[in-house]
């Protein structure tokens, strides 16, 4: 059973997106947010040294924001998968192949009666039997 004793979170990356099944819905920008968690199979080097290699969460956030604001998406599930793929590729290219990824995309204010806290879709590549350090 794999254990992931360290994690890093991007708590709420918020930006406007063209997201919606219907043309009129997609035409107007709608607020979305991304939560991202990176799970490390061992404590990363940057916990031992203040000058060690690290994953640049600003660059990762920029890549996700660029993809989310420059394209149109019909389905929240598809948009989440696209953002997940971008994050996974970024990690793989920056010495993060062993890092596991959890991503949740939330459409914050869909036009649905009585829906108060949006709608979300979540993806992860953690093994089913993984043990995790709780995220607060």
Residue % of the chain over a pLDDT of 90 = 65
User: According to the model, what pLDDT value does residue 102 have?
Assistant: 96
Angle, helix 76-93 to helix 57-70, in steps of 10 degrees: 150
Measure CA 67 to chain center.
12
Indicate the pTM of the whole model.
0.91
Tokens standing for residue 75:
């389905």
Question: Could you please report the per-residue DSSP string of 82-123?
Answer: HHHHHHHHHHHHTT-TT-EEEEEEEESS-S-TT--S-EEEEE
pLDDT of residue 136: 61
pLDDT tens across 21-45, in order? 999 889 999 999 999 999 999 877 7
- Phi, psi for residue 78 in degrees, rounded to 5: -70, -45
Q: Where are the domains of the chain?
A: 3-132
Contact 4, 129 (CB under 8 A): no
* Residues of the chain predicted below pLDDT 70: 46, 52, 133-136
- In angstroms, the CA 107 to CA 120 distance is 6
Fold classified for 3-132? GTP Cyclohydrolase I, domain 2 (3.30.1130)
DSSP state of 72: E
């Amino acid at each position: 059973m794999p254990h992931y004793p360290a994690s890093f979170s991007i708590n709420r990356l918020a930006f406007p997106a063209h997201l919606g099944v219907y043309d009129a819905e997609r035409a107007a920008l709608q607020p979305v947010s991304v939560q991202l968690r990176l799970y490390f199979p061992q404590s990363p080097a940057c916990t031992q040294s203040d000058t060690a290699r690290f994953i640049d969460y600003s660059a990762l956030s920029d890549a996700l924001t660029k993809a989310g604001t420059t394209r149109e998406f019909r389905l929240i599930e598809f948009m989440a998968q696209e953002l997940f793929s971008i994050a996974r590729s970024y990690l793989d290219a920056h010495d993060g192949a062993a890092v596991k990824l959890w991503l949740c995309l939330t459409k914050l204010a869909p036009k649905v009666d009585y829906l108060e806290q949006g709608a979300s879709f979540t993806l992860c590549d953690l093994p089913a039997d993984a043990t995790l350090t709780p995220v607060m």
